[in-house]
Structure 1
Amino acid sequence: MKYMLIMRDSQEAFEASQEVDFEEIINAMGAYNEALMKAGVLASAEGLAPATEGFVVDFAGEKPIVTDGPYGETHELFNGFWILEVSSKEEAVEWASRAPLGPGSKLEVRRIPSQEEAFADFADNEYVKKAAELPDRH
């Protein structure tokens, strides 16, 4: 089973991180990632550039509207993610609980369904068949 751990930080978490030596943060994250790799459960992990470098594409109107970040009222920012391949939801909970995050941070954990599970009713669709051929899709 695959699970995505989505790191969400509030302004409180951002401010708290400014008071910690950045090398300490790198070491804590590095040790966590190393534990995931040694356990053989880490499929992917990435951090993201600041929201000021991002943008939003809003499809509410007739034409999509692109807005540069930061955008709107932001209470939590999506700052990075891990994708784990584990044997159960309980194992995903265990690994998520060990993330070196503090107050103001949250991990949203979402299961990633298999191609067959997600599109079972559309297995004969040409685009579903093409998607099954993409690399790294189980």
Structure 2
Amino acid sequence: MRFMVIVKASADSEAGVMPTTELLTAMGRFNEEMVRAGVMVAGEGLQPSSKGARVHFSEAEPKVTRGPFSDPQSLIAGFWLIEVGSLDEAISWMKRAPFPSGDAIEIRQVFSAEDFGEALTPELREQEQRLRAGLSS
């Protein structure tokens, strides 16, 4: 099972405050541990929302709103994509992440092709497999 681990933003991350060397070192060790265990698929930190935009869709032309956005707790500061056997295993890994007090993460399971049932036709399934093969090459 794949899980997206969403690192919630904070006032500091939205202000562009960079992590300390100590935190970067601890995070590097944690990431290395997950890579060695075959758990980590991807992971990145994100720039503050002031360097981003939102695209809002409606019946009319999509509307673009440039950041910054309010309420840091509703924003994302980074992510991991991990592959483990269960939500409990994902939780177990993430409880070991070296975050300071007050930070928060959210763990969400990623859909697999099987989750879509008959709506994912054989043609769509084949297309999905081709796209995934193209991403890994």
Same fold at TM > 0.5 = yes
Unaligned segments of structure 1, at least 5 residues? none
C-alpha distance in 2 between matches for 1:53 and 1:14: 12
Unaligned segments of structure 2, at least 5 residues? none
Match for 1:98 among 90, 96, 112? 96
Moved >4 Å (runs of 4+): none
Q: TM-score, normalising length from structure 1? A: 0.81
Question: Contact 2:8 / 2:103 at 8 angstroms: preserved in 1?
Answer: yes
Pair 21,79 (structure 1): closer, same or farther in 2 beyond 3 Å: closer
SS in 1 for 2:132: coil
Match for 1:35 among 18, 30, 33? 33
Match for 2:127 among 112, 116, 130? 130
Match for 1:113 among 108, 111, 114? 111
Amino acid at match of 1:82: W
Kindly report the root-mean-square deviation, in angstroms, between the aligned alpha carbons of the 2 structures. 2.5
Q: TM-score, normalising length from structure 2? A: 0.82
Give percent identity, aligned residues only.
36
- Measured after TM superposition, the shift of residue 60 of structure 1 is 4.3
- Measured after TM superposition, the shift of residue 37 of structure 1 is 1.0
Question: Contact 1:119 / 1:128 at 8 angstroms: preserved in 2?
Answer: no
Count of matched residue pairs: 132
**Are 1:68 and 2:93 matched, yes or no?**
no
- Measured after TM superposition, the shift of residue 47 of structure 1 is 1.4
